Structure 1
Amino acid sequence: MASIEMMEKEFLAEKRFEGLTENSLTSYVNFFKTWNEWLAHEGIERVDQLNPRVTKKFLMWCTEERQNKPKTVNTKLKLMRAFARWLTDECITDELFTKGVKMKKEDDSPKILQDKDLQDVLRHLRRQFRREHLFTARRNYVIILTLAGTGMRLSELCSLRWNDIDFDSYLIMIRTSKSRKTQSVPLSEDLKRELLDYQDYLKSKLQRLPDSVFVTKEGKGLTKDSVQNVFKRLRASIGIEGYFSPHTLRNYFIKSVLKNGLNLRQAQLLARHSKIDVTRQYVGYFAHELKESLDEANPLRGLL
């Protein structure tokens, strides 16, 4: 019977041929690395040794030993299901080794970033740059503003190039969106000014303008892990007790546009949600703050 690692290589080659995105391929590669290490420890090498019991045991190990959250465990199960389905489609195995394995229940409510925490982060970075002239402080400041001001996803931020930004038309082109279609988000006057200032800073600091918008001191584009680490360090340095991550800034953006009076359809278009039901959920999540906005703009004020 074929080895698991050999079948993984064939699976990845076929998915690459089918046009799977590089991000998705990387997700499989990273998952297979963790899974293979666990399989080796368990003495499992061949595909005929895979079964639902082995799958459950691995996912339990991820939960208990690696402290993976339900969402992470479910992502791994989705990857395993795709691989298991491919094995049966290719007649390499008779049954799905993920058969009957259920997803873990997730808390799907968005993580809320407090206004004060965001203000503290921006104030900290401004002070750091003013006192120490740190390249990272200047760059990270614009990263935070870009995420909060556009609702971009982390992968989209890391893939952003200067030629994706049309300053004249006030548009940012998203060429690696979740839907795999080229999309665009509007560029506000404030963010345009910050990005142009940052662009001038890069030119003077690096003696050239790199292709990527957000780069290291050497001019290399940032990876998703490096941006995640930026957030972790800021959270620890400032002592933020609540949620603070790239995705919380996307939630912050959606909450802000709803709070400031945009309707659901407008918010859906700006957030680039494929279904308006996804956007509608945010109304419930932020109901308290949205009510405060209604109270301030109460159409009955002065009538009663």
Structure 2
Amino acid sequence: MPPRKTLKVVQAAPAAGGQTARWVTLCLDYLRTECHLAANSISAYTRDLKRLQEWLGDRAVPNLTVRDLSNYLAWLQQKKLAPTSISRHMAALKVFFRFLQVEGVLKENPAELLATQKQWQRVPDVLSAKLVKELVGAPQPYDPFPRRDRALLELLYATGCRVSEVSSLQMRDLHLEERHCLVHGKGSKQRLVPLGEGALNTLRDYLATERPLFVAAARTPPNWVLLSRRGKQLRREAIWELIKRYVARVGGPASASPHTMRHSFATHLLSGGADLRQVQELLGHASIATTQIYTHVDQTRLKKVHQQYHPRA
């Protein structure tokens, strides 16, 4: 955590639960105002620390031991959370305890003694190119808003964007004549992502037909590209529901999600011969280690590379 001026935290007499809630609020304010974390990161910390408060109950935080915190880990596992989710909860716990140590609430930090949970690296779901083609053509005239939904599907697959990035994409970031869009990713980082012919055509169709209807229903002119029927931002939850509906229609896996489109985008690029660094840039990954998971997915490409370049293949 970056250095900061110490806030005076008054340890008065309120109940342990109330005092913990106050410390959590101060910690979130610190992450928001001094660490300048993105809104989505703050939301994640808020959810994780709320679960920590649920487990704590009336326990006094300064009295917790390493054994107590290990019991918290066991409690999270009993909740049937995914390993990645548990790891995120433990990271939030460590940030919170480090904050309390900086504030002088804690003399020693038992959270630092917790071992980092070893995560099983999951191979992401990937749709075949044939299934993706069926998926983007799944919206039909009998659907409420087929042009918007087709534009959404094309946009997700054409750009490999995260669902939050597609949801927050604004009209000023869409450059159809130049055949690209400006994406605002994690940590307020921006990247240019090209748009293919399929995405361009469906976007132009949607912008000329259905979007004006949504704009007319809005109280104030909306800036987002993808809108709800009332002219509001198409929420991430709504995008999830749409993806689930259309994937089921074409017989795709029940586990598919908007992120599956991102995984498919990356894997298909690598299958076509794209360089890993180029895929990293298009996905907006800060580290190439994150992108490398797709080399495990596309084993056929690795076999071709081995056969082509190894002297004894």
Instruction: State TM-score, norm by structure 2.
Output: 0.80
- Residue-by-residue CA offset, 1:113-163 (whole Å, 9 max, x unaligned): 2345434433432xxx32x2412x433322221111111112211211111
Q: What are the residue-to-residue correspondences of 1:57-136 with 2, within 5 Å?
A: 57-65=71-79, 67-98=80-111, 99-125=113-139, 129-130=140-141, 132-135=142-145
Post-superposition offset of 1:74: 0.7
- Identity %, equivalent residues: 26
CA contact (8 A) 1:170 1:188 kept: yes
Q: Find the counterpart in structure 2 of residue 4 from structure 1.
A: 20
* Partner residue, 2:42: 25
Q: Structure 2 CA distance, aligned partners of 1:17 and 1:162?
A: 28
CA–CA distance in 2 between the matches of 1:248 and 1:120? 15
Quote how far apart the aligned CAs of 1:92 are: 0.9
Structure 1 runs of 4+ aligned residues shifted over 6 Å read: 292-295
* Residues 81-139 of structure 1, C-alpha deviations (whole Å, 9 max, x = no match): 111111112221122242224214222433222345434433432xxx32x2412x433
Question: Which residue of structure 1 aligns with residue 161 of structure 2?
Answer: 152
CA distance in 2, matches of 1:284, 1:17: 39
Contact 1:112-1:243 at 8 Å conserved across structures? no
C-alpha RMSD over aligned residues = 2.8
CA shift for structure 1 position 59: 2.9
Q: Which amino acid is 1:194 matched to?
A: T
Which residue does 1:206 correspond to in 2? 214
Equivalent pairs, count: 287
Q: For each residue in 1:183-235, what CA deviation from the matched residue of structure 2 results, as whole angstroms up to 9, or x when unmatched?
A: 22112232122111111223342254631122221111133333233334445
Structure 1 pair 159–242 and aligned structure 2 pair: CA distance change class (3 A)? same
Specify which of 167, 170, 180 is matched with residue 161 of structure 1. 170
**Partner residue in 1 for 2:68:** 54
Q: Does the aligned pair in 2 maintain the 1:150–1:186 contact within 8 Å?
A: yes
Change beyond 3 A, Cα 1:167–1:33: same
Distance 1:33 1:276, change over 3 A: closer
Give the TM-score taking structure 1 as reference length. Answer: 0.82
1:124 counterpart SS class: coil
1: distance between equivalents of 2:69 and 2:44? 18
The 8 Å contact of residues 147 and 206 in structure 2, kept in 1 or not, is answered as yes
Gapped regions of structure 1 (runs ≥ 5): 300-304
2:243 paired with 1:231: yes
Alignment of 1:137-148 (within 5 A): 137-148=146-157
Aligned with 1:219: secondary structure?
Answer: coil
Query: Residue 192 of structure 2 aligns to a residue in which SS?
Result: strand
